[in-house]
Structure 1
């Protein structure tokens, strides 16, 4: 592996900051001898994949890890699956709010992440960062981009590993949300660094408990 692309989103939903982009910016430029490409993509359904696909075409990475904010989650969650459906609870940053819309008419109902998701969680926990497998990436732009990245890999770059990671709010975002969990940027960067190292070094995922009862 020579190159990993890591993306974060711009702020959305009335927030002035997005911990995804802010944390991705703080990642090192190289890990385990592998170049880390860090880029921002828009929280907009209809152009997010245009930007991502341009990056994938230009950079031709060995792996792409898209990172997004999941306000309300207490830990870093590695997504298992993306579904072929947009169903926006709120508008995106250009005011679009697709409901029950298929992302790719020629795509399957869902794609599973091709990253070693359970090994990523294991290694974040070993670094004392709260982490878990998630079985839903939602139906907003995060899911849209995860599905799109996996569709690109399936149709254009079969060797490309692709997946998505959700991170919590930063503490500054919860000043007016006192019941919401948060995580410091240093802790998020520590977790992302650990999981990227796993993606680089682990070829086959581990068999460990990572499911949910409901």
Structure 2
């Protein structure tokens, strides 16, 4: 017999530290304060906020911590009726609205060195996947999430280009891992706090958890 009842959802969230040109990364603040906000606001029944992790803004340098938390999510999320979702937040310093990233490209072309000094150019992120034109797409219902958030009043769009810097690098690894393990992965770019204030971005992050719960 199969498991009965609706699936529970555990959502793990990551953000990034500062990097070249962005001395204060809004995603570091969002991820660091998300547990407290969720504790006050609550989440829908069956939804759990798992780990909240701030990653180094680096390509290969971020992978040990990323894979450590993802492997931990496999161990904790092995129940048949549990869906594990990885939500990654990154900043786009030129953006004026939130952007849900539909896919990641298998290309690392860093416009500047990452925080550990690495600056690859036109390198495949995962060589086994083929060339730099390869992409991986989220299995989350991006359009449904978009509708949910717009109804909440947030200025949000869908993007098909996550760039080629660290955000795309981490997202590609996460999508590959999630697809192998039966999880889901999604990346969202947020603006600077000078464009959309911190309180609004915190409320957006909490609403995004609800959106994932209602659509995934």
- Normalized against structure 1, the TM-score is what? 0.84
Is 1:104 matched up with 2:126?
yes
1:162 matched residue in structure 2: 185
> What is the match of residue 48 of structure 1?
62
Map 1:143-162 onto structure 2 (within 5 A): 143-155=168-180, 157=181, 159-162=182-185
Tell me which of 8, 11, 15 is aligned to 2:18.
11
Q: Give the distance between the partners of 2:63 and 2:148, measured in 1 at CA.
A: 29
Retained in 1: the 8 A contact 2:9–2:85?
no
2:116, 2:200 → 1: CA distance?
A: 31
Do residues 79 (structure 1) and 101 (structure 2) align? yes
Deviations 1:145-198 (A, max 9, x none): 11000111223x0x2010100000111xxxxxxxxxx10111111112112111
Would the aligned equivalents of 2:140 and 2:215 in 1 still touch at CA under 8 Å?
A: no
Q: 1:210 maps to which residue?
A: none
| Number of the residue aligned with 1:92 | 114
1:69 pairs with 2:76:
no
Tell me the distance in 2 between the aligned counterparts of 1:17 and 1:153: 29
Report the Cα distance in structure 2 between the residues aligned to 1:190 and 1:129, rounded to whole angstroms: 9
8 Å contact kept, 1:76–1:188: no
- The normalised TM-score by structure 2 is 0.84
The answer to whether the 8 A contact 1:107-1:151 is kept is no
**Residue 15 of structure 2 contacts residue 55 of structure 2 at CA under 8 Å; is this kept in 1?**
yes
User: Which residue matches 1:26?
Assistant: 33
* Structure 2 CA distance for aligned equivalents of residues 121 and 85 of structure 1: 26
Q: Secondary structure at the match of 2:157?
A: strand
Report the counterpart of residue 202 of structure 2 in structure 1.
189
Which sits farther off after the overlay, 130-139 or 189-198?
A: 189-198
Q: Deviations over 1:81-125 (max 9, x none)?
A: 100000011110011100001100112511011222112221221
Q: Which residue of 2 aligns with 1:206?
A: none
Q: Report the secondary structure of 1:31's partner residue.
A: coil
Unaligned residue ranges in structure 2 (runs of 5+): 1-7, 78-83
C-alpha displacement of 1:67: 0.4
1: distance between equivalents of 2:175 and 2:215?
Answer: 19
Moved more, 122-131 or 81-90: 122-131
What is aligned with 1:179? Answer: none
Counterpart of 1:132 (choices 137, 157, 176) is 157
Structure 1 unmatched runs, 5+: 172-181, 204-214
Task: Tell me by how many angstroms 1:49 deviates.
Answer: 2.1
